[in-house]
Amino acid sequence: MIPVQRKMTTMKNKYFGTDGIRGRVGDTPVTADFMLRLGRAAGKVLADGDSRSVVIGKDTRISGYMFESALEAGLAAAGANVALLGPMPTPAVAYLTRTLHACAGIVISASHNPFYDNGIKFFSAEGEKLPDDIEQAIEAELDKPFSTVSSEKMGKAVRIEDAAGRYIEFCKGTIPFETMLRGLKIVVDCANGATYRVAPAVLEELGAEVIAIGTDPDGLNINESCGSTYPEFVSQAVLEHGADVGIALDGDGDRVIMVDANGNVVNGDELLYIIATARQDRGLLQGGVVGTVMSNFGLELALKAREIPFTRAPVGDRYVHKALVSHGWTLGGEASGHLLCLDRTSTGDGIVSALQVLEVMVSKGKGLKELTADVKKLPQTMINVPVNGNVSDILNSETINAAVKSVRALLGDTGRVILRPSGTEPLIRVTLEGMDANQVKQLATELAEVVRAELVN
């Protein structure tokens, strides 16, 4: 039986999605006035009566200035102190929230989306995503009239000047002290985003020869034809410079895609395999690996051959994290490059994940091509269909159900069909996987057309 995801995850929240609050700047709720109210609500829920600060970091989008100021004002109105980090990767905010003993962390970012989108992510004092009940408490506070504490109770703001240095040292500490990257020529693409300073510094301080690209943010060029969603950019640079490996991060630094010396893309599934098998060889793998419904079946087969348990979670790092915790495992992630190494850090971290792979390359003296030779990925095609309206009704239509049933019959037991709404964009993702690349592409195209036609009706 081929698993088919048709139903949208039940939305308990009014504003929070699977990865915080996100949308186009200027459209509700991604507006300055909403962020002001959100800051006050978050201050009341997360920092009410707590002398610790709320940490705020952001990526390089031009709208980040506006939202940073609005959140700061709202938090101060609630009596919460604020620690400003400036441009800083999402995982750095999670780390610094913990080490600064803050009561919460806020990231202003829309991750891999274009510059005209933005959003908000929250971290708990432990550097983890907020549970649903806390998000719901913030939403309940948002519905209350805006109020300001008395002047003597207002919050203060400070800027953490050494935030980048603290995070750089943390990243270097996630691999063995004796590991050096001398002799490696590495191209790192920072997507003109939040890692533009720290990622090259980490690699250089570990001894690598670094060619840094995507390090000239102007507020508008984040993720533009670069970064983990456009690996062709780093692939071309690897070939031009004769580099040993390429690293492509996304705009907020929680995803990583890598490229081998021949310019071939190595995605999150293959990176998970490298890390998992290396830890298994050293007796350090705790349990198994968590992927998602989108993880390639080839990864599952390769891990099975190594007798490494594998299970799938819904798409989204919070669901991968939940599955890891429930199993008592530490390693999981998505093909998109959002990897979780919970024995190293509390959230997805593109730099830390890349370092785990580079350490394996150095210790084994092998390139990415050799390290992923046993992963035989099945051909996979994903088509995004823009939507307006109730996604659940569309995906449950009789016409689409009949089309899915027909495709499943054609693919047999060696393929998969996944229809799911995006958690971050107004899209239905139509994904097919099977043994024959041409058949998979054709069937995906036909099924996507059925979905489009249903949207019109």
Closest CA to 432 of 450, 421, 446, 422: 446
Based on the residue annotation, tell me whether 53 is a catalytic residue of this protein: no
Active-site residue, from 53, 111, 228, 346? 111
Active site residues: 111
